[in-house]
Structure 1
């Protein structure tokens, strides 16, 4: 551990996530005990799988549904994320519009707005809304190029269907009423975002789904998916429909190693802050906060008065490897701690209680997709590029309609039937991802000293190469 990072007594690196540590690791449910036959088999006990089971059961309670999960429900990104339930699109508007037209892409954006409210409503009705607060999302610019990007992005959002009540530009004084980020020059706020405690939320949804009659088999590894069948290390699940919902773990299946890039996202969380520290950072609400840097930083003020901060410190490990338990490279902990001090100088000496990492699934075109092979009875959803807390809900309702044969507006959204080419083979994949994020970090450093309002040329080149 870097000597300039103060860690609290009992500091934990890994152990899945602070969120899981906060409420305690669950007792694992029973594993599959042999071959079974059901109506719908879902591979993956994260939010895509849980929401799909929820909506299918609500629509047709008589369906027999089984979820197969290697560890426990919420083990992956669903229980490790930054707790941003944002309405920002799980993909790139320009790509969806190019394939299906601008109005189709705007329809998807409207559904993302709806998804946030849908999740909040269901969580409140079903009793798992603890610590869930819809207080919006702030993006802060801290230099000239970032401010120019923020304003340009506001124009883009308005063209994409964001109305006057969906997003608001904020000046420095407006921002200071909500949060006091060092060096802020301006930014914007949208009400379409809710703060979530990922472990409480995911575990609560799993309990609801189980109470509805869905069986969740934990400690059961899916080894392959075939037409109307899932082969596991504990037996085969045969089903009319198979839903693949593995997101960043998709590479674990045969012949899918390059379909989604498992991108690391690492987080740290501080000790509980004092009243004086909270006054210094001026952050008393439940807004989520992010910056406009290329090496994006995302933050949450937790319900118990901590700051959780995340970013792409070490974005990718060779050959899609990563520590499944969530251990974070010491270099990443140091980088994130340094960033915390830059954003909030008053927290430079605060102790860090926990660090952890998880992976999100990134398609080669940076656009999420929902797919259905009717002949094989296999469906899939994923590639949310960091917008999974709301994207999973929209995907699950879409999967429900596809399975039930409903011709709704959801099945006509532009991410349905979308495919992207595979990522490059190794070592090109690792070289590319590592080099690109090194370039983005360099561009951020140069922009901090820039006198212009233009995005650094290094970042512009990296965007072209990466397809972002």
Structure 2
């Protein structure tokens, strides 16, 4: 019997966490909070995938290290337990942009590192007995009008130039054969791009399983322990105790890792270095084999299309459609609140879009609706950084491409902290420093105008059947 559940367990914030609770495999009860001052070699702030992968690779490399992970809620409460379940080679900054900034060799190295990371997540999860429904079926990106097909063709050509990604361009006939004669909705696809470097996973199984693994390696994981600040190799925290009281304290640590992604906007020493952008998801009831045959998406496959307002989806291990997208507005002052996780307008848009993509699923019941913030840096460039003088490392700014990138961040931070130089520490995102976002009201106006322009770009392309001028003007602001 599941008893004494935490607030998170009483109302899990995603399909993924709810599935663990419903199956009885994880009751989501919080681990004990840190109730006193303490000292560690490494103090990691954030119990999501970045923090846990960093702890994992540090503990594997040097079992003598005393490592603590401090988490405000429970491990996997944030984006790590709510995302779309794409373990992909996607990186928020394009190879062309990396080449302009760092040179062709660095761009190729970054692309290869991301591809290799998909394999590393598979290897590490299998080695540690983490059953996260990992199935590498690749990503299908539909092109549903002429401008989208042009963009798809350009992507395949660009990938061929760098010689690392193995993208395939499928024509309308191939798409029709694979995904049914009706295509994928009101606009019959003109083609699609297939990227084999992506796996479907159940993200909560991965993050919660990884939490158990790092504990078995001797890492101390404290939950309901909120970090309020850090300075001079000390981390200030406030813990919530089971009796409802709280205690303030500090951790002394030789090295500190900040791994909180979009939630960093609430920390005084991160603040405007990250913008919390909300992404929302829905999930259907399990669909019949007949419906799946008509849809055509196979187990292990993820899917999207070439619209500008990002959408993403997967076929889950239990035959649901889990589908998400952008469209939720930015909130004044980078505010993060529980009520922002649900937006009826965006949920309605997602349901209509899913029915348009896959008419066979139009009548399927929607069983779960959820969302949460992801982290966006001002130049849309992720980073894994470490300053040996201060002992502080930070990673994030994944812009929604973090499920695999967190693993690369963990390996990279582990190497940087241990002063182990090699290919990982030479990648172009290492020690990248993005500019800060503008103060309010400029941040509020600019972010929401950008969101509006992205939506208008799709309308513009649908009407004109030509590449969007609005999208072209916005491309430099999104790392492309």
Which residue matches 1:168? 168
Of structures 1 and 2, the one with the larger relative CO (CA 8 A, separation 6+) is 1
Show CA shifts across 1:5-42 (max 9, x none). Answer: xxxxxxxxx84111111111501000001110011000
Which of 334, 337, 346 in structure 2 is aligned with 1:332? 346
**Alignment match of 1:115 (pick from 114, 117, 135):** 117
Shift of 1:162: 2.5
Q: Give the deviation of 1:281 after TM superposition.
A: 1.2
Q: Within 5 Å, which residues of 2 pair with 1:80-95?
A: 80-95=82-97
Deviates more, 1:253-262 or 1:174-183: 174-183
Name the structure 1 match of 2:198: 193
8 Å contact from structure 1 (residues 261, 423) kept in 2: yes
Structure 1 runs of 4+ with >4 Å offset: 464-468
- Matched with 1:11 is none
The CA deviation at 1:172 is: 2.4
Q: Deviations over 1:110-130 (max 9, x none)?
A: 111110001101111111133
CA contact (8 A) 1:258 1:424 kept: yes
Mapped contact 2:311–2:323 kept (Cα < 8 A): yes
Q: Within 5 A, what are the aligned runs for 1:232-251?
A: 232-233=237-238, 234-251=248-265
2:50 matched to which residue of 1? 48
TM-score (normalizing by structure 2):
0.91
Greater alpha carbon shift after TM alignment, 179-188 vs 230-239: 179-188
- Tell me how far 1:467 sits from its aligned partner: 5.5
Measured against aligned partners, the alpha-carbon deviations of 1:339-377 in whole angstroms (never above 9, x if no partner) come to 111111222222111111111111111110111121111
Distance in 1 (alpha carbons) for counterparts of 2:66 and 2:340: 33
Shift of 1:170: 1.1
SS in 1 for 2:458: helix
CA contact (8 A) 1:265 1:315 kept: no
Q: For 1:215, which of 216, 220, 231 is the aligned residue?
A: 220
Q: 1:414 aligns to what SS in structure 2?
A: coil
Structure 1 residues 49-448: aligned runs within 5 Å: 49-163=51-165, 166-179=166-179, 180-182=183-185, 183-233=188-238, 234-324=248-338, 327-448=341-462
Tell me if structure 1 keeps the 8 A contact 2:263–2:336: no
Is the 8 Å Cα contact of residues 145 and 447 (structure 1) preserved in structure 2? yes
CA separation in 1, counterparts of 2:233 and 2:178? 51
Give SS of 1:449's match: helix
Note the 1:442-457 alignment, pairs <5 A.
442-451=456-465, 454-457=466-469
2:134–2:201 contact (8 Å) kept in structure 1: yes
- Distance in 1 (CA, whole Å) between partners of 2:319 and 2:342 is 23
**SS of the counterpart of 1:380?**
strand
Unpaired runs of 5+ residues, structure 2, are 1-10, 22-26, 239-247
For the residue of structure 1 that corresponds to 2:175, the secondary structure is helix
Deviations along 1:188-227, one digit per CA (max 9) or x if unpaired, are: 1111111010111111111111111101000000000213
Cα distance in structure 1, aligned partners of 2:231 and 2:338:
25
On the 8 A contact 1:106/1:160 being kept in 2, the answer is: yes
Once the two structures are superposed, residues 393-441 of structure 1 have per-residue CA deviations (whole angstroms, 9 ceiling, x without a partner) of 1111111111111111111111111111111111221211211121221
Q: What secondary structure does 1:133 align onto?
A: coil
Distance 1:387 1:16 in 2: 19
Q: Secondary structure at the match of 1:199?
A: helix
Pair 1:98–1:227, CA change in 2 (3 A): farther
Aligned residues: 452
1:39–1:240 CA contact under 8 A, matched in 2:
yes
CA change 1:316–1:151 in 2 (3 A) is same
Q: Tell me if the contact between 2:278 and 2:341 (Cα under 8 Å) persists in the aligned partners.
A: no
Distance 1:316 1:178, change over 3 A: farther
Segment drifting more, 131-140 vs 173-182:
173-182
CA shift, 1:325, in A, is 7.0
| Local SS of the residue matching 2:471 | helix
Q: Alignment partner of 1:258: what SS?
A: helix
TM-score, normalising length from structure 1? Answer: 0.93
